[in-house]
Amino acid sequence: MSFDIAVGVNQRQLNQCSQDLVASVPGLFSGSGSDPSYPGISMTWNTIEAPVFNLSPAGFTIGPKQEIVKTGMQFFTDQLAPFDVNFSNLQIILEQKDGDKIQLNINVTLSCFLYVLDNKLNLGIDHASYEHLPDPMENIFVSKYVMPQLLDVAAETLAGLSIPSPDLAGITLSPIVATIEGGSIIAITNLWSNGPAAIPEAFPWPEDDFFALLSNKALQAVTNIEVGTKNISGSGSVGTDVGGASYSYSINILNPVVNINGNAVDMNFGVNGNVSASVTVFFLPIGVNYDVEGGPAPGATAQLEPVGNSSMNIIVRSINPFTFLLKPTGSIWQKILSAITWPITQSIAAVATPIATTFIQNINFETYQLPGYGVSINNVSIQFTPQINKVDNRMGMLCIVGALKTS
pLDDT 10s digits, 167-183: 888 899 999 999 999 89
What number is the average pLDDT over the span 225-242? 88
> Amino acid letter at 201?
E
CA–CA gap between residue 212 and residue 372 (Å, rounded): 12
Classify residue 284 by burial, with Cβ atoms within 10 Å: 0-12, 13-18, 19+.
Answer: exposed
d(CA 182, CA 394): 15
Inform me whether the pLDDT recorded for 185 exceeds 90. yes
d(CA 99, CA 21) in angstroms, rounded, equals 33
**pLDDT at res. 60:** 52
| Contact between 121 and 176 (Cβ < 8 Å) | yes
Is residue 300 a contact partner of residue 316, using CB atoms and an 8 Å limit? yes
pLDDT average, residue stretch 180-191: 93
CB under 8 Å to 151, separation ≥6 — which residues? 71, 110, 125, 128
Distances (CA, A) of 362 to 223, 325, 371: 14, 24, 26
Query: Which strand (E) or helix (H) includes residue 216?
Result: helix 216-226
Answer yes or no: is pLDDT of 295 > 90: no
The rounded distance, in Å, linking the Cα atoms of 238 and 342 is 10
Average pLDDT over residues 193-197: 94
In our burial notation (b when 16+ CB lie closer than 10 A, e otherwise), range 66-80 reads eebeebebeeeeeeb
Cα angle 332, 253, 318; round to 5: 125
**Which of residues 388 and 219 earns the better pLDDT score?**
219
Going from N- to C-terminal start, the domains of the chain cover 5-164+374-406, 228-362
Per-residue pLDDT, 75:
44
Assign 287 to helix, strand or coil: strand
CA-CA distance, 72 to 142, in Å (whole number)? 21
Residues 85-96: tens digit of each pLDDT: 999 989 999 998
Q: Where are the beta strands (DSSP E) in 118-242?
A: 120-130, 161-162, 177-181, 184-189, 210-214, 230-240
- CA–CA separation, 272 and 289 (whole Å): 14
Characterize the bridge pairing of strands 30-34 and 42-47: antiparallel
Residue 291: per-residue pLDDT: 93
pLDDT beyond 50 at 73: no
DSSP-assigned states of every residue in 101-149: EEEEEEEEEEEEEEEEETTEEEEEEEEEEEPPPSSHHHHHHIIIIIHHH
267 near 302, Cβ under 8 Å? yes
Q: Is residue 206 over pLDDT 60?
A: yes
Which pTM value belongs to this model?
0.85
Of residues 287 and 59, more confidently modeled: 287
